[in-house]
């Protein structure tokens, strides 16, 4: 794994997720769709950690828009974007998001390997499962 600043197991508790929050504020739903599309690209045999983090952060944003739950978001601008986003329009991304999050957990993804040896591995997996359940 390339060195990455990670301070927790949540989607925004790493440098990639934190940066992705700003992409969403700037680019809106396009940033979410792009993150999911990259994760599901059929030409990609291996999902790198950075793309996995972006996928999880995008899924967290989508879940927040669909449920109104923003507790995991500390970025004020992102919370404001979520509050203004149209859940009906973004509902169209739900199935794609679920498939993308499932890919993050797949054997051809770097993140499960990175978390496998750590003491927070189960907490990370539980958080990803929470996202999957929320996208049902």
Mean pLDDT of the chain: 92
pLDDT score at 72? 76
Residue 22's H or E segment, with its range, is: helix 15-27
pLDDT score at 71? 82
114 or 95, higher pLDDT = 95
pLDDT score at 91? 97
Q: For 26-56, what is each residue's pLDDT tens digit?
A: 999 999 999 999 999 999 899 999 999 999 9
Give every CB contact of residue 43 below 8 A, 6+ residues apart in sequence: none
Region 65-76: mean pLDDT is: 89
Between CA 75 and CA 65 the distance in angstroms is 15
pLDDT score at 3? 45
- Identify the burial level of 35 via C-beta atoms within 10 angstroms of its C-beta, where 0-12 means exposed, 13-18 middle and 19 or more buried: buried
pLDDT of 24 > 70? The answer is yes
pTM assigned to the model: 0.94
114 or 91, higher pLDDT = 91
Region 5-12: mean pLDDT is: 86
């Amino acid at each position: 794994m390339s060195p990455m600043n990670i301070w927790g197991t949540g989607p925004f508790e790493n440098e990639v997720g934190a940066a992705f929050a700003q992409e969403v504020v700037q680019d809106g739903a396009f940033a979410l769709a792009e993150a999911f599309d990259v994760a599901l690209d059929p030409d990609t045999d291996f999902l790198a950690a950075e793309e996995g983090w972006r996928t999880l952060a995008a899924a967290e944003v989508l879940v927040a828009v669909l449920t109104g739950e923003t507790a995991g978001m500390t970025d004020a601008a992102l919370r404001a974007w979520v509050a203004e986003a149209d859940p009906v329009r973004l509902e169209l991304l739900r199935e794609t998001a679920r498939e993308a999050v499932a890919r993050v957990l797949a054997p051809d993804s770097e993140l499960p390997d990175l978390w496998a040896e750590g003491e927070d591995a189960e907490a990370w997996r539980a958080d990803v499962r929470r996202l999957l359940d929320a996208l049902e």
